[in-house]
Chain A
Amino acid sequence: MHLGVSESMREREYSQISTRSSTPMESPHQKRVLRKKWQAFPGQNKFYCDGRIMMARQTGVFYLTLVLILVTSGLFFAFDCPFLASALSPAIPAVGGVLFVFVMGTLLRTSFSDPGVLPRATPDEAADLERQIDVANGSSSGGFRPPPRTKEVLINGQTVKLKYCFTCKIFRPPRASHCSLCDNCVERFDHHCPWVGNCVGRRNYRFFYMFILSLSFLTIFIFAFVITHVILRSQSSGFLTALKDSPASVLEVVVCFFSVWSIVGLSGFHTYLISSNQTTNEDIKGSWSSKRGKDNYNPYSYGNIFTNCCAALCSPLPPSLIDRRGFIQPDTPQPAPPTNGITMYGATQSQSHMAAATPLLQSEPVMMSDEPSLPGRTSLGAACASLPLGQPTPPTSTPSLSCDADLLPLQGNHVEGQHHFLTPEEAPSPPGMLHCGSPMGQGHPHGHAPGHGVPFYSPASQDSLHEDSVRGLVKLSSV
């Protein structure tokens, strides 16, 4: 029965929380092998090392990041450091080494950890919420446009709207947002960064910040010392000879020169965000800007910069809410794609095949798992800080970004807002700070359903054309 199993599962879960290394399960009594939860995870993430590593679906750009950092640093240590160590001081390669290790450590930590994904609601929870919403809305929706599902909360005197996520079937906590690339709700969602191949959220924001900060230092460090190296050499043998003697330096200078601007800029931007306790998402949307109203202020800010910084960087690290490496108990209800009877509205679709075949949805190509990504899926804002090479667009090796590539400008933050159809964030005005501005998904009203929920409004007719127009209406009447 549910209980006894969940108790023992609880114990296993807690032993999993306390130690990173897993204790191997005693062999299950069932004939078939129990699968681990990461294998049935409803989002679009990829898992490695038996669930220990969690990344976004498209990781091509992450490998580019790795290559750029490794190659540039490698060239620095191989070609410039010997000269600098003897000519100036051996501390230079030592400091460089420490910086490099720190950069790699924080990068891997950012990329591989769970950003703070909220697990989807269990069927019971979803049903309970539905009931509450129906009660709150009175009689049935009456019309093709059901009332928007929001809840208002007063936080520190500021009214905040909590939106209902049709995919995850929960009311999103404040500051959470649904990443359409990863198809998850993420707590304290900052943005989806293709350069680290993961979302940046509550659990890995500090690693991300440390990464860009240390990368700024590393870039400036390499840039400065490569220039020093060339200057010192050219004092003895002339400029062109110096360049010929160490050709790697030219490459390093070029890479560092282009990356310094964007990475240092990004570090500065995030320092500002941390000190005012905002997320990239909120800043881009101007949620707490005074332009929205006289009384608009950030309810999460502690008032002074120091406390805000400490809260962002030194607050206790919450554990992962998704139990990746636990075993799926056969009789435990999994929260994944919704069954038919539970909801009236959202027959959402995620990776697995559509359980509840609703005639409406059948007309749509909803199988996310087949496509690498959605071509039309754009992102709020722009690409995350460009890396050393400063390419105008991310490489087209990653199909998901290839379409975005046309829209992504040189630099900026790749912000992932919400899923496009239902409760789109208001189209953000590009931040003045960074070059931003890929248009919102509203520019792409197409029949592709992202992996997340497509609402099924039962009052609506079963005409897919009509449904498209309904969705269009819903999109425009954004909450």
Chain B
Amino acid sequence: MATEFHNLQELRHSASLATKVFIQRDYTEGTVCKFQTKFPAELDSRIERSLFEDTVKTLNNYYAEAEKIGGQSYLEGCLACATAYVIFLCMETRYEKVLKKISKYIQEQNEKIYAPRGLLITDPIERGMRVIEISVFEDRGSSGSSSGSSSTSSSSGR
């Protein structure tokens, strides 16, 4: 594992932003929040397709869970209506709880998978849920061990 970008802080200090890849929304199922799982060409040399798809699929599942209309959401809706929506001032909605889980997940993915490869995922909520922004970094520091350790086979010449 590359120790260059062991943590995100080091990534920040020693790398420079090369480009940003945007994963757009997938609207084929309506207005639910879902991102396209199509693997972008720019990441071809940086990360394995399966890892990327796993990340996006997990995110999609989280969002589906957040927006699910089921027993709990009915209960929440009726309770909120009965209290003239005052309860939203005190209580955290289910959506917000799931968003917190998502941000933890993204943080964890960044630390474990993406930062070592010189990539960084930005939480979609910071982009208005329109895109998943993946920042691609070039290694400015020493190129002892190249950024994508497991993808060095297809080396993106540093």
Q: B-contacting residues of A (Cβ < 8 Å)?
A: 1-4, 6-7, 10, 13-14, 17-20, 101-102, 105-106, 109, 118-119, 121-122, 124-125, 128-129, 153-156, 160, 162, 170, 173-175, 187-188, 206-207, 210, 299-300, 307, 310-311, 313-319, 321-322
- Name B84's contact: one of A105, A118, A299, A316 (CB within 8 Å): A105
Q: Would B76 and A316 count as touching, CB distance under 8 A?
A: yes
Tell me how far the C-beta of A122 lies from the nearest C-beta in chain B, rounded to whole angstroms.
Answer: 7
User: Measured between alpha carbons, how far is A210 from B84 in the docked complex, in Å?
Assistant: 9
Q: Would A314 and B73 count as touching, CB distance under 8 A?
A: yes
- Name A319's contact: one of B81, B86, B96, B126 (CB within 8 Å): B96
Q: Would A162 and B27 count as touching, CB distance under 8 A?
A: yes
- Hey, which chain A residues are within 8 Å of B28, CB to CB? 153-155
A174-B30 contact, Cβ under 8 Å, with A128-B20, A316-B66, A319-B96: yes
Tell me how far the C-beta of A72 lies from the nearest C-beta in chain B, rounded to whole angstroms.
Answer: 20
Interface string of B108-138 (1 = CB under 8 A from A): 0000000000001011011111110101000
Knowing that A17-B96, A155-B30 touch, tell me 12 more A-B residue pairs with CB under 8 angstroms: A2-B17, A14-B100, A109-B85, A119-B128, A125-B22, A174-B30, A187-B31, A206-B81, A310-B74, A313-B77, A314-B73, A316-B73
Q: Would A105 and B73 count as touching, CB distance under 8 A?
A: no
Tell me how far the C-beta of A189 lies from the nearest C-beta in chain B, rounded to whole angstroms.
Answer: 12
Q: Would B125 and A321 count as touching, CB distance under 8 A?
A: yes
7 nearest CB pairs, A to B = A314-B77, A105-B84, A119-B128, A3-B12, A321-B128, A316-B95, A153-B27
User: Measured between alpha carbons, how far is A187 from B77 in the docked complex, in Å?
Assistant: 20
- Hey, which chain A residues are within 8 Å of B129, CB to CB? 321
Closest to A103 in B: B84
A315-B67 contact, Cβ under 8 Å, with A3-B11, A14-B103, A207-B85: yes
Q: Would A125 and B12 count as touching, CB distance under 8 A?
A: no
Closest to B98 in A: A316
Q: Would B127 and A105 count as touching, CB distance under 8 A?
A: no
User: Measured between alpha carbons, how far is A153 from B32 in the docked complex, in Å?
Assistant: 14
User: Measured between alpha carbons, how far is A179 from B53 in the docked complex, in Å?
Assistant: 36
Q: Would B130 and A170 count as touching, CB distance under 8 A?
A: yes
Closest to B110 in A: A7
Identify which of residues 46-84 in chain B touch chain A, using a CB-to-CB cut-off of 8 Å. 66-69, 73-74, 76-78, 80-81, 84
Q: Would A173 and B25 count as touching, CB distance under 8 A?
A: yes
Closest to A160 in B: B27
Q: A-contacting residues of B (Cβ < 8 Å)?
A: 8-9, 11-13, 17, 20, 22, 25, 27-31, 66-69, 73-74, 76-78, 80-81, 84-86, 88-89, 92-96, 99-100, 103, 120, 122-123, 125-131, 133, 135
Q: Would B11 and A317 count as touching, CB distance under 8 A?
A: no
User: Measured between alpha carbons, how far is A401 from B12 in the docked complex, in Å?
Assistant: 51
- Name B31's contact: one of A128, A300, A307, A314 (CB within 8 Å): A300
User: Measured between alpha carbons, how far is A160 from B28 in the docked complex, in Å?
Assistant: 10
- Hey, which chain B residues are within 8 Å of A105, CB to CB? 84-86
User: Measured between alpha carbons, how far is A118 from B129 in the docked complex, in Å?
Assistant: 9
Q: Would A314 and B93 count as touching, CB distance under 8 A?
A: no
- Hey, which chain B residues are within 8 Å of A6, CB to CB? 122, 126
Q: Would A128 and B22 count as touching, CB distance under 8 A?
A: yes
- Hey, which chain A residues are within 8 Å of B31, CB to CB? 173-175, 187-188, 300
Q: Would B27 and A122 count as touching, CB distance under 8 A?
A: no
- Hey, which chain A residues are within 8 Å of B103, CB to CB? 10, 14
Tell me how far the C-beta of B34 lies from the nearest C-beta in chain A, rounded to whole angstroms.
Answer: 11
Q: Would B96 and A18 count as touching, CB distance under 8 A?
A: yes
- Hey, which chain A residues are within 8 Å of B67, CB to CB? 315-316, 318
- Hey, which chain B residues are within 8 Å of A124, CB to CB? 20, 22, 133
User: Measured between alpha carbons, how far is A162 from B26 in the docked complex, in Å?
Assistant: 12
- Hey, which chain B residues are within 8 Å of A17, CB to CB? 96, 99-100
Tell me how far the C-beta of B36 lies from the nearest C-beta in chain A, rounded to whole angstroms.
Answer: 11
A10-B126 contact, Cβ under 8 Å, with A125-B22, A315-B77: yes
Q: Would B25 and A3 count as touching, CB distance under 8 A?
A: no
Most chain A CB neighbours (cut-off 10 Å) among B78, B93, B126, B133: B126
A310-B69 contact, Cβ under 8 Å, with A174-B31, A188-B31, A315-B77: yes
Tell me how far the C-beta of A210 lies from the nearest C-beta in chain B, rounded to whole angstroms.
Answer: 7
A10-B95 contact, Cβ under 8 Å, with A3-B12, A300-B30, A310-B74: no
A318-B17 contact, Cβ under 8 Å, with A153-B27, A154-B28: no
- Name A314's contact: one of B17, B27, B69, B122 (CB within 8 Å): B69
User: Measured between alpha carbons, how far is A322 from B125 in the docked complex, in Å?
Assistant: 9
Closest to A315 in B: B69
Q: Would A118 and B95 count as touching, CB distance under 8 A?
A: no
User: Measured between alpha carbons, how far is A474 from B73 in the docked complex, in Å?
Assistant: 44
- Hey, which chain B residues are within 8 Å of A210, CB to CB? 81
Tell me how far the C-beta of A12 lies from the nearest C-beta in chain B, rounded to whole angstroms.
Answer: 11
- Hey, which chain B residues are within 8 Å of A187, CB to CB? 31
A14-B130 contact, Cβ under 8 Å, with A1-B12, A4-B12: no
- Hey, which chain A residues are within 8 Å of B120, CB to CB? 3
Tell me how far the C-beta of B126 lies from the nearest C-beta in chain A, rounded to whole angstroms.
Answer: 7
User: Measured between alpha carbons, how far is A170 from B66 in the docked complex, in Å?
Assistant: 24
